[in-house]
């Protein structure tokens, strides 16, 4: 594998960098670089800017309205956006459900749903996890019963990220109890404005309602919203999860946050502590190793080879790195990482504390929030079993 980018790829990188610099709102970039709260408007504003350029579906082929970039170009685009301080694109529409609609949806579904995803106009949510059905996703109990030309859906989804903003939700629903659990699941698209859909925010330690419960009470869903065949949803779910787990690794965000960690360490006077700097160096080695693994996958894709099925491996290492850099930021700031006055922080004031307190205010909440990364998207314990079976044999 040649790790050097070609002159054409370097020129492509410069094109992306220049465009992002010219179009990314400075106030949004400031929030991202300092881990301040992004509002719904912030996230959708950037999505619509990308959508207008035709880049929100940056991984899409040209036949579906995407730029048709190869694997390396997609990586360079993601890296330049992350380093510039662009918000992480909410993945449920363009990264997760769109590839499923492209691969398994019919022509009418593709024409109906893909344009709204590509433009950033329609906010999608993910209805996978349920109480008791997290890593054991095949045990989902939300029921969809076919009655004529519609399904009647009853059940509950939980941990629905940003579900309070959702306009549509893609769901795994049980349509049969025959055979193995995986064989009775279907993939259904549901309008969240439908009667009987209710969203209940779950308030977290930092005051955010990042995750939600979504309840379905006799919700009527047109049968035309079924993706593919009934009872074949497990196949489509696995296709989607490979995109989700690769997305969770997010090596480009890790590179940006590594630089933020160094800034905090210098500001707080711990950069000269050799032992602490050793910990930063160890983290940087892991980030570089993760990037090499990503580039290895990209190299295989670019050359037309079948890369190893290592989405789970990327997820494991990427999530552990996210937890580690958030922990080191906390350690660098010491007691100054703890103050958290939600309303004051949003107003730009966090008390008369010494040190870089404006940068430190979100550190505790970020640390606690990142504890989830080794659990969601399939817990790392389960991912290790999958890697052992599919990669090691």
Q: Under DSSP, is residue 226 helix (H, G, I), strand (E, B) or coil?
A: strand
260-284: pLDDT as tens digits: 999 999 988 999 999 999 999 999 9
Yes or no: say if 197 and 215 are a contact pair by the CB < 8 Å rule: yes
- DSSP 8-state class, residue 361: T
Which ranges constitute the DSSP H helices of the chain? 7-23, 26-33, 40-53, 71-84, 98-104, 107-119, 233-249, 251-267, 274-302, 311-333, 342-346, 357-360, 363-369, 380-387
173-212: pLDDT as tens digits: 999 999 898 999 999 999 999 999 999 999 887 778 899 9
111-132: pLDDT as tens digits: 999 999 999 999 999 999 999 8
Tell me how far apart the alpha carbons of residues 274 and 392 are, in angstroms, rounded to a whole number: 38
Strand partners, 151: 146, 221
Q: Show the tokens assigned to 189.
A: 């698209």
Give percent of the chain with pLDDT exceeding 90: 65
The whole-model pTM stands at: 0.88
**In the structure, what pLDDT confidence band is assigned to residue 342 with cuts at 50, 70 and 90?**
low
* Beta strands 168-174 and 211-222, pairing class: unpaired
**pLDDT given for residue 212 in this prediction:** 97
pLDDT at 324 exceeding the cut of 90: yes
**pLDDT given for residue 37 in this prediction:** 83
58-94: pLDDT as tens digits: 999 999 999 999 888 998 999 999 999 999 999 999 9
* Beta strands 124-127 and 168-174, pairing class: parallel
Q: Show the tokens assigned to 268.
A: 């707080």
Q: Show the tokens assigned to 289.
A: 């190793």
**In the structure, what pLDDT confidence band is assigned to residue 302 with cuts at 50, 70 and 90?**
low
- Beta-carbon contacts of 104 under 8 Å, excluding residues fewer than 6 positions away, are 187, 227, 228, 236, 239
Yes or no: say if 211 and 161 are a contact pair by the CB < 8 Å rule: yes
């Amino acid at each position: 594998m040649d790790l050097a980018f070609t002159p054409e790829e370097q020129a492509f990188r410069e094109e992306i960098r220049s465009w992002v610099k010219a179009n990314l709102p400075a106030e949004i970039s400031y929030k991202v670089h300092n881990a301040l709260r992004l509002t719904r408007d912030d996230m959708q504003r950037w999505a619509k800017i990308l959508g207008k350029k035709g880049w929100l579906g940056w991984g899409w082929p040209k036949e579906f309205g995407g730029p048709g970039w190869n694997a390396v170009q997609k990586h360079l685009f993601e890296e330049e956006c992350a380093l510039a301080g662009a918000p992480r694109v909410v993945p449920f529409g363009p990264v997760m459900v769109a590839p499923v609609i492209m691969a398994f949806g019919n022509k009418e579904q593709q024409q109906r749903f893909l344009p709204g995803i590509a433009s950033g106009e329609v906010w999608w949510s993910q209805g996978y996890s349920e109480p008791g059905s997290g890593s054991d996703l095949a045990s989902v109990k939300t029921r969809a019963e076919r009655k004529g030309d519609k399904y009647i859906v009853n059940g509950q989804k939980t941990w629905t990220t940003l579900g309070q903003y959702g306009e549509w939700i893609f769901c795994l629903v049980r349509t049969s109890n025959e055979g193995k659990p995986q064989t009775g699941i279907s993939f259904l698209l549901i309008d969240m404005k439908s009667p009987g859909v209710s969203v209940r925010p779950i308030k977290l330690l930092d005051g955010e309602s990042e995750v939600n419960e979504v309840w379905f009470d006799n919700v009527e869903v047109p049968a035309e919203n079924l993706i593919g065949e009934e009872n074949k949803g497990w196949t489509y779910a696995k296709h989607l999860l490979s995109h989700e787990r690769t997305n969770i690794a997010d090596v480009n965000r890790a590179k940006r946050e590594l630089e933020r960690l160094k800034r905090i360490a210098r500001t707080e006077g711990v950069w000269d502590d050799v032992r602490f700097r050793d910990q930063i160096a160890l983290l940087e080695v892991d980030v570089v190793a993760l990037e090499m693994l990503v580039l290895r996958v990209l190299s295989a894709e670019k050359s037309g080879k079948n890369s190893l099925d290592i989405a789970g491996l990327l997820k494991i290492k990427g999530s552990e790195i996210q937890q580690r850099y958030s922990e080191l930021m906390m350690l660098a700031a010491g007691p100054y990482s703890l103050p958290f006055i939600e309303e004051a922080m949003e107003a730009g004031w966090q008390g008369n504390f010494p040190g870089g307190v404006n940068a430190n205010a979100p550190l505790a909440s970020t640390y606690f929030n990142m504890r989830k990364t080794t659990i969601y998207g399939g817990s790392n314990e389960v991912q290790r079993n999958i890697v052992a079976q599919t990669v090691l044999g």
